[in-house]
């Protein structure tokens, strides 16, 4: 998880991906090669029931890696552009953009029903949660304070 500062009046929260996109492919190819080599050996020896279990395992691994890969570019951001507060939420094929009027926006840090602390941004009856996936409690508190500074009316 990475939180960029408010340089240029934009704050971005995104996961820290230490594996490159091609790394995902190589990781899968590596595991697939090892597992399939072993499986083919045992199937040829007559133990064909190893195959469905190995196949299931590879499918689960593929699903998990694909899921992580597809969410490689996920982010949430808050931008202060002139009199607007723009919140963007990108999660694989889903892009949401909310624009609030800077002078009326409310930033609230409060507990949700599951007991975690969340940042809510909104105005005029519309409210969205920010950073629920990438940032933890301490970061949410510091981001809320930072927003308070940035939203000060000059």
Partner 1 sequence: MSTTTVAHHDEHTDHPTGIMRWLTTTNHKDIGTMYLTFSLIMFLVGGSMILGIRAELFQPGLQLMNPDFFNQLIGVHALIMIFAALMPAATGFANWMIPLQIGAPDMALPRLNNWGFWLLPPSAILLTLPFTLALFGIGDGALATGWTFYPPLSIQGGIGVDFAIFAVHLLGISSVLGSINIIVTLFNMRAPGMTFMKMPMFAWGWLITAFLLIATIPVLAGAVTMLLTDRHFGTHFFDAAGGGDPIMFQHLFWFFGHPEVYILLLPVWGFIPQILQTFSRKPMYGYKAQVYSLIAIGAMSIIVWAHHFFTAGMPVPALLYFMYSTMAISLPLAVLFFCWIKTMWRGSMSFETPMLFTVGWIILFGIGGLTGLVLADVAADAQYHNSYFVVAHFHYTLFAGGIMGIMAGVYYWLPKMTGHMYNEKLGQLHFWLTAISFNLTFIPQFFLGLAGMPRRIPDYALQFAEFNMISSIAAFVLGLSQLIFVYNIISTVRGGKKATDQVWEGAEGLEWTLSSPPPYHSFSEQPTVK
- As a whole number of angstroms, the distance between CA 79 and CA 136 comes to 20
Task: Answer whether 72's CB lies under 8 Å from 57's CB.
Answer: no
R_g over Cα of the chain: 22
- 11 or 144, CB closer to partner 1? 144
Assign 3-state DSSP to the chain and report helix, strand, coil percentages, each to 5. Answer: 40, 30, 30
Rounded to a whole number of angstroms, the minimum distance from the CB of residue 98 to partner 1 is 15
Residues in contact with partner 1 by CB under 8 A are 1-3, 15-19, 23, 27, 31, 34-35, 38-39, 42, 45-47, 49-54, 56-57, 60-61, 64-65, 68, 102-111, 114-117, 136-139, 141-142, 144-145, 147-148, 151, 153
Rounded to a whole number of angstroms, the minimum distance from the CB of residue 44 to partner 1 is 12
Rounded to a whole number of angstroms, the minimum distance from the CB of residue 16 to partner 1 is 6
Q: Around Cβ 125, how many Cβ atoms within 10 Å?
A: 5
At how many degrees (to 10) do helices 21-44 and 50-70 cross? 180
Rounded to a whole number of angstroms, the minimum distance from the CB of residue 94 to partner 1 is 19
- 39 or 77, CB closer to partner 1? 39
């Amino acid at each position: 998880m990475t939180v960029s500062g408010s340089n240029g009046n934009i704050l971005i929260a995104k996961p820290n991906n230490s594996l490159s996109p091609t790394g995902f492919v190589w990781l899968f190819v590596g595991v697939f090669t090892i597992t399939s080599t072993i499986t083919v050996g045992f199937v040829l020896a007559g133990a064909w029931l190893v195959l469905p279990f190995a196949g299931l395992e590879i499918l689960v691994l593929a699903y998990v890696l694909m899921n992580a890969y597809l969410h490689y570019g996920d982010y949430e951001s808050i931008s202060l552009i002139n009199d607007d507060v723009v919140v963007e939420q990108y999660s694989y094929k889903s892009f949401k953009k909310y624009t609030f009027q800077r002078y009326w926006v409310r930033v609230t840090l409060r507990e949700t029903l599951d007991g975690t602390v969340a940042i809510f941004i909104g105005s005029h009856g519309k409210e969205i949660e920010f950073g629920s996936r990438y940032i933890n409690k301490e970061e949410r508190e510091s981001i809320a304070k930072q927003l308070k500074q940035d939203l000060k009316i000059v």
